[in-house]
Structure 1
Amino acid sequence: MIIGIDLGTTNSACAVWRDGTATLIPNRLGETLTPSAVSIDDSGAVLVGVAARERQASHPDATVTAFKRYMGTKRTTKLGGRDYSAEELSALVLRSLKEDAETFLGEPVTEAVITVPAYFNDQQRKATHRAGELAGLRVERLINEPTAAALAYGIHNLDAEARFFVFDLGGGTFDVSIVEIFEGIIEVRASTGDNQLGGEDFNEVLIALMRERFAEAWGEAARNDRLYQRLREQAERARRDLSGGATATMRVVWEDRAYEMEIDAATFEAQAAGLVERLRDPVLRALRDSDLRPEALSDIILIGGATRMPLVRRAVARMFGRFPNATVNPDEAVALGAAVQAGLKARDAALKEVVVTDVCPYSLGVNVSRALPGGGYEHGIFAPILERNTVIPASRVHGFQTLTDNQSEVVFGIYQGEARLVRDNVEIGKTKVKVPRGPAGQGMEVRFSYDVSGLLEVDIVVAQTGERTSLVINDDHVGDDKIAERRALLAGLKTHPRDEELNRAALARGEKCYENFLGDDRAHVDHLIRRFQHALDGQDPRAVEQARAEFHAALDGLEGERFL
């Protein structure tokens, strides 16, 4: 038996396709949503779901939630004297869902389609796959959450060509996807998002307000973990109340004293304005990547519990100039869509034959160096080979050349991300290629092949010898320790004119613009950045000022599109 699972940051759910329809599976408490929470009680037993979540305020040292945000990292949580990784904690939730499904269905569950945020990177996807395997499931496919939501919406049953914008704001992640249906094919045109933006961040706004209100009374205790968990619970309740009313009250008891704060919707929305602003860039990027205008969309679909907030719905309506579609339960849509995909995998006769394609969520490429006009080299430049939102499976090839005379080997670092410099992207592999000594310019072809399971194969062929080097990217990942080390190295750089405020702002804008464009436009931005950096290197204030003005003017020309 194969089921569909929505492994969420706040809540998880599972569903099954049978008798021609997708059906949610209730857990042992009769609820269709299971909190993504794990706790260890005094006897050492593992608690999952509501039982675990209810212990968070009282036993914060033995309970953990929101661990999905740390999938694919080396971060661990100590519970009951043992360290657990995010994928191990996720496996405990998946195992609980599997047991509930087996009870409901009356037969063993061995396979699953598991959903992931569209903007999950390679490491996070592999960690999710491993979590399923740790739970005793064969993971038939990982499907992007917005794609699953589109299936729940029923676009696989449409006969006419249509395009949908799926806006998914969950507890811990924000994803947007543009999904198109034509001739029996459901194709994801673009996916992007923010893995660190969700309902939990809106809760933090309310927590900060209450901490500020009682800062004098709480003093240093304001940062106490036990108090924080109580505030977190109250913030979640208040946010839900504000989704349906004008005011909400947060109440906590700390050191035998009750603290109460009433918050109105206007104050909350004003304090959360920065978070709402962060919703716009992924929307713009998805539209730009798919080369579509808002009026070309058939509908805007809202999923994820956080989209119930009126401030979010109003923001979406302003972006698109029309009201979004909220007919599908935002908490259930992803699990139901995963069940539809499970039915497609099982080739259920009740489902019309349809092919579901997906896209590569991040650009994939290698590090290169470039000769500078005045001599010397610029190292660590990211050269994309498979650009983000390429429909997969896909295979792309790019030619490179040796940089110096008598070079005997080339080291290729494999990276994913959108930044111009590889240091700001994620390294997912590395390989060395031997080349025959000779003048600079010895040719090599690098081919990236990426499949629907997220497996990346790299083939490098040296033109002169025909020698081939192949690499299949494994599960190794960059952890927090390496990131911290890189930040420390960057912080130790000497002061340079580019550290001046105006120049830093201009470079930051350029880097953002580089990430927001593809192809020729991206190459043009790269050229503009290098030209501006060349002016900075000259350290002539007048030349820098003129170059900065020209740089901004050029970027204005690229970004001068319709404001949503």
Structure 2
Amino acid sequence: MECDAPMMQIELIITFSIIGFAASKTGSVDTNEVIGIDFGTSFVSVGIFRYGTVEIIPNEYGNRMTPTYALFTETGDCIIGELAYLKTGHNPKTKIYNLKRLLGRTWDDTFVQNLIATVPYDLAYVNNKPYVQVNLGYKTIQFSPEEISAMFLVQMKQLAEQYLHGTIKDAVITVPAYFNDQQRQAVKDASAIAELNVRRLISEPTAAAMATRIHNTEEENMIFVLDLGGGTVDASIIQQYDGLYEAITTVGNTSLGGENFNERVYSQLVNQYIRRTGEKYPYQRIDMQVRRDIERAKRALSSVTETMIEINSIYPGEDFSWKLTREHFNDHCKVVAIFIHA
């Protein structure tokens, strides 16, 4: 099995389905009622169910998905979301992403130790938990994964309040099927920091299955759901009958997703640059720009068979370009097919 379209396209479809269910099953949303939040590894979305249809609330850029990026400035201020994602030229150690993967984990977790080697920002040991550590020069600040995750939830809450012209206190939030009790509690803790009351945490595959049956709950159905997101993947078989949903079987991996594909493409690009030029790759200076370009190329491969990654001024007066084909990208997708088959 090969993945014919990049992960972002699949993630977008799943996100819309999940949000549709999340808000609809808790009652019609007016002001001061319930919103649905899909808090993903790479992106976060917020939606409501009104007048018999799902409304995904756009951010200030008009996009229905907001990147889960946080950028700390030299003054100690924190920029989050789309603007943090778009800004370049900053020290990569002050731009934070993939925080969902750290929720509910301890410092000695093998995954955390492996992650330390792949992210540009610093992680610190605090009470056997991984904290983000940002050095601003004149001071060092530390944040738990829950505290930074709360920033994204606050942003979604504010988007909904502006859209609905009222106060929002309650939310339904989706989580990967294979999130354990500690990880689910961490999501609740982040929500509490954001002053959101979690009415319910719903497994993403179950929510997606329910979203497909909002208007048809009479017939019995067996639904296969493949939820391949930015940081997790779940494959579930869900039985639906008379409005009830039961997960018959679920397999998943909370450490595998679209971000892993990005990392593999990133490694290939670095190797190609070193092989071609014989020069040292300037990680710190262009790291975030290249990661953005790789994400953009991955999306482009949904509709074209090849695309170019262009890096201007990789060194002063030196540009670099690299062609990424869909076939090349699909080679990275085979690991998902192996996972599902297993």
TM-score (norm 2): 0.76
1:78 counterpart letter in structure 2 = Q
Q: Which residue of 246, 262, 269 maps to 1:203? A: 262
2:190 counterpart letter in structure 1 = A
Distance 1:279 1:249, change over 3 A: farther
Q: Does residue 1:180 correspond to 2:209, yes or no?
A: no
Asked whether the 8 Å contact 2:41–2:100 carries over to 1, the reply is yes
Asked whether the 8 Å contact 2:91–2:284 carries over to 1, the reply is no
User: What's the offset of the Cα at 1:225?
Assistant: 3.5
Q: Which residue of 1 aligns with 2:324?
A: 263
Distance 1:190 1:274, change over 3 A: closer
For residues 27-82 of structure 1, what are the alpha-carbon distances to aligned partners after superposition, in whole Å with 9 as ceiling and x for unaligned?
23332211111112233222111111113663312211111111112222123531
Q: Which residue of 2 aligns with 1:254?
A: 314
Asked whether the 8 Å contact 2:273–2:281 carries over to 1, the reply is no
Mark the structure with the bigger radius of gyration: 1
Q: Does residue 1:241 correspond to 2:300, yes or no?
A: yes
User: What's the offset of the Cα at 1:247?
Assistant: 0.8
For residues 317-336 of structure 1, what are the alpha-carbon distances to aligned partners after superposition, in whole Å with 9 as ceiling and x for unaligned?
xxxxxxxxxxxxxxxxxxxx
Q: Which runs of 5 or more structure 1 residues have no equivalent in the other structure?
A: 282-564
Q: Which residue of 2 aligns with 1:77?
A: 132
Output the CA distance in 2 between the equivalents of 1:30 and 1:267.
32
Q: Which residue of 1 aligns with 2:63?
A: 31
Per the alignment, in what secondary structure is the counterpart of residue 233 of structure 1?
helix
Q: Which residue of 2 aligns with 1:43?
A: 75
Output the CA distance in 2 between the equivalents of 1:13 and 1:56.
23
TM-score (norm 1): 0.47
Q: Which runs of 5 or more structure 2 residues have no equivalent in the other structure?
A: 1-32, 106-128
Q: Which residue of 2 aligns with 1:345?
A: none
Q: Which residue of 1 aligns with 2:273?
A: 214
Output the CA distance in 1 between the equivalents of 2:241 and 2:213.
14
Q: Which residue of 2 aligns with 1:134?
A: 193
Per the alignment, in what secondary structure is the counterpart of residue 44 of structure 2?
strand
User: What's the offset of the Cα at 1:271?
Assistant: 4.8
Asked whether the 8 Å contact 2:261–2:332 carries over to 1, the reply is no
User: What's the offset of the Cα at 1:274?
Assistant: 3.3
User: What's the offset of the Cα at 1:227?
Assistant: 3.3
Distance 1:61 1:91, change over 3 A: same
Output the CA distance in 2 between the equivalents of 1:57 and 1:180.
50
Which structure carries more relative contact order (alpha carbon 8 Å, separation 6+)?
2
1:255 counterpart letter in structure 2 = Y
Output the CA distance in 2 between the equivalents of 1:18 and 1:219.
57
User: What's the offset of the Cα at 1:168?
Assistant: 0.4
Q: Which residue of 2 aligns with 1:189?
A: 248
Distance 1:4 1:272, change over 3 A: closer
Q: Which residue of 2 aligns with 1:123?
A: 182
Alignment of 1:432-451 (within 5 A): none
Alignment of 1:137-176 (within 5 A): 137-155=196-214, 157-176=216-235
User: What's the offset of the Cα at 1:155?
Assistant: 4.9
Asked whether the 8 Å contact 1:11–1:34 carries over to 2, the reply is yes
Q: Which residue of 21, 31, 36 maps to 1:4? A: 36
Asked whether the 8 Å contact 2:92–2:287 carries over to 1, the reply is no
Per the alignment, in what secondary structure is the counterpart of residue 267 of structure 1?
helix
Output the CA distance in 2 between the equivalents of 1:127 and 1:190.
25
Output the CA distance in 2 between the equivalents of 1:188 and 1:57.
46
Asked whether the 8 Å contact 1:174–1:194 carries over to 2, the reply is yes
RMSD, matched Cα: 1.9
Asked whether the 8 Å contact 1:204–1:235 carries over to 2, the reply is no
Bigger mean CA offset, 2-11 vs 256-265: 256-265
